[in-house]
A and B are shown apart, each in its own frame.
Chain A
């Protein structure tokens, strides 16, 4: 099992939870939406945490590439987190139309972000961190 496969699997899980949340908002089901949105935000923030606290620093250290692709990825994480806060506020006041407009923006931002990670960064990690992957993967707290 490689870093890219595990992390891509987590992207797919986040996409699935995102769709569930959006479907609940679209169906105007506030009760289900509260639960599904909480689960989505928790899962994706955990994913960001794994990257920012474990994978990116290790990759930067081993590759010597600090200030490169990982910085761009962290910048996009911040952009997504701003959208999460907007969506949380919109949920509190039950502004579901605004919530869906924000989630629409998030979907594309998330999609192009994930594409860059899966096609470039994770593959670089697979080769740079190949020797450490066996010990590293169980620490991520993701299904292997």
Chain B
């Protein structure tokens, strides 16, 4: 009995391994909301303003990547059967170094401080290398060679390339906050499409069928989508950084702009179809978040294709950039943040249940008494989070497209989203600690009686 408990625990990293990342992320989200609330001017149209860059990185590094780093460490053993080594130690160092790096980066951008930017890149490099080595080592030791393993491999590689591009960009600009360039385009491409989208696709391959009891993604699609997207990113990078004649044809260049959007639209379409035909009729909050994400992805992808084609047909560069920034907002807030919420509301309660159940076994208590998932984050609270997040998304998009005077309201709503998310996770953790305390007291009491 004890052996099996230990083995099971080996397969599941300690609760705080992912949770410390999940609990830190909304704090950066809140920082973004505050920066947006007190921003002077319209940050959406001041893309290269240092404070805007700080806001964007608070979201993509402080919030989104923070959660992704925690999730990968949790999902490696669960989805790939990888035996992770030193999970607690790696998570502690990674979380500390990465968080410091993000804080230094935000200060570097906002204060336009070279020293802070240099420190930030050093810290983030150490964190990313540590994370990549940990992930690749775990995948190598995993017997699983499926598309999700491929996604974890490719997305971690993309994260490293994103960081390398950040180094190249800042070295080129001598650590002065950069403006639009080919280098920043490449950096953005690897960050969003490589690190972000490849990971979402790999996770979706497993969790969409698992959570909603749908059919699996078609085999041809699973096999080809990830390598195609990676190849596309590589060709895009080479075409921008070199002058190889074949890559400079305008038709080829247009294809490189359109292909990823066409592929992500296909991914969104297939996911929505699978969910529509699911066997499980219950439409829980997680499913709703995934649907919002996939509808947003479909709109963002098709929108990207329309903008790129319009640029060929006479749309000015400035108008094109105006639309692209809006599509970027939809991708970030509509796609990535919805998937994150949809995942957190499944993962966090389940992990707490799993760890409590294992603790019961270790303490010799009856495991049937472990409260099930719905007790840690109640369904009605998740519903409120969903409604608030959807409203915040709508108001932000409305502010970006038509009514910039709504931006402060969007900032307040998103601030509310992050506060609520943090509060719900802390409440779940409190339930966990209360239950553990009861177990320990009971256990201690039993031992005292026996003694």
Contacts and interface: CB of A to CB of B under 8 A. Distances in A.
B41 to A, nearest CB: 45
Q: Is the interface of B mostly helix, strand, loop or mixed?
A: helix
Interface string B183-224: 000000000000000000000001100110100000000000
Contacts of A123: 143
Interface in B222-250: none
A69 B77 CA distance: 12
Contacts of A26: 281-282
A101 B376 CA distance: 11
Interface in A57-111: 67-69, 71-72, 74-76, 79, 82-83, 85-86, 98, 100-102, 104-105, 107-109, 111
B279 A101 contact: no
Contacts of A109: 350, 354
A19 interface: yes
Nearest to B378: A101
A2 interface: no
B280 A19 contact: yes
B447 to A, nearest CB: 24
Contacts of A15: 213, 279
B213 to A, nearest CB: 5
Nearest to B373: A105
A108 B346 contact: yes
Contacts, number: 97
Contacts of A101: 372-375
B158 to A, nearest CB: 23
B78 A107 contact: no
Contact of B372 (A22, A75, A86, A115): A86
User: How many A residues are at the interface, by size bracket?
Assistant: 35 or more
A15 B281 CA distance: 13
Interface string B251-281: 0000000000000000000000000001111
Contacts of A128: none
Q: Is the interface of A mostly helix, strand, loop or mixed?
A: helix
Interface of A: 15-16, 18-20, 22-23, 26, 67-69, 71-72, 74-76, 79, 82-83, 85-86, 98, 100-102, 104-105, 107-109, 111-112, 114-116, 119-120, 123-124
Contact of B282 (A23, A86, A105, A112): A23
Interface in B341-377: 346, 349-350, 353-354, 357, 367-368, 372-375
B374 A120 contact: no
A112 B7 contact: no
B144 interface: yes
B312 interface: no
B8 interface: yes
Contacts of B8: 72, 75-76
Contact of B210 (A19, A69, A115): A115
B373 A115 contact: no
Contact of A120 (B143, B350, B354, B372): B143
A116 B81 CA distance: 6
Contacts of B375: 101
B217 to A, nearest CB: 14
B45 interface: no
A19 to B, nearest CB: 4
B171 interface: no
Nearest to A19: B279
Given A72-B4, A101-B372, A124 B81 contact: no
Contacts of B206: 115
Nearest to A90: B372
The 5 closest A-B pairs by CB, nearest first: A101-B374, A111-B210, A19-B279, A75-B4, A105-B372
B153 to A, nearest CB: 15
A125 to B, nearest CB: 12
Interface in B73-130: 78-81
Given A26-B281, A101-B375, A102-B372, A72 B11 contact: yes
Given A22-B281, A85-B368, A108-B211, 19 more contacts: A15-B279, A18-B213, A19-B278, A22-B280, A67-B3, A67-B7, A71-B3, A72-B4, A74-B4, A98-B372, A101-B373, A101-B374, A107-B213, A109-B354, A111-B207, A115-B79, A115-B210, A120-B81, A123-B143
B441 interface: no
Contacts of B144: 119-120
A104 to B, nearest CB: 5
25 contacts: A18-B213, A19-B280, A22-B282, A23-B280, A26-B281, A26-B282, A72-B4, A72-B7, A75-B5, A76-B8, A86-B368, A100-B282, A100-B374, A101-B372, A102-B372, A105-B350, A105-B373, A107-B210, A108-B210, A108-B346, A111-B211, A112-B78, A115-B210, A119-B146, A120-B144
Contacts of A72: 4, 7-8, 11
Interface in B282-303: 282, 284
A124 B143 contact: yes
A104 B378 CA distance: 12
A104 B7 contact: no
A23 B143 CA distance: 35
Contacts of A68: 7
A79 B357 contact: yes
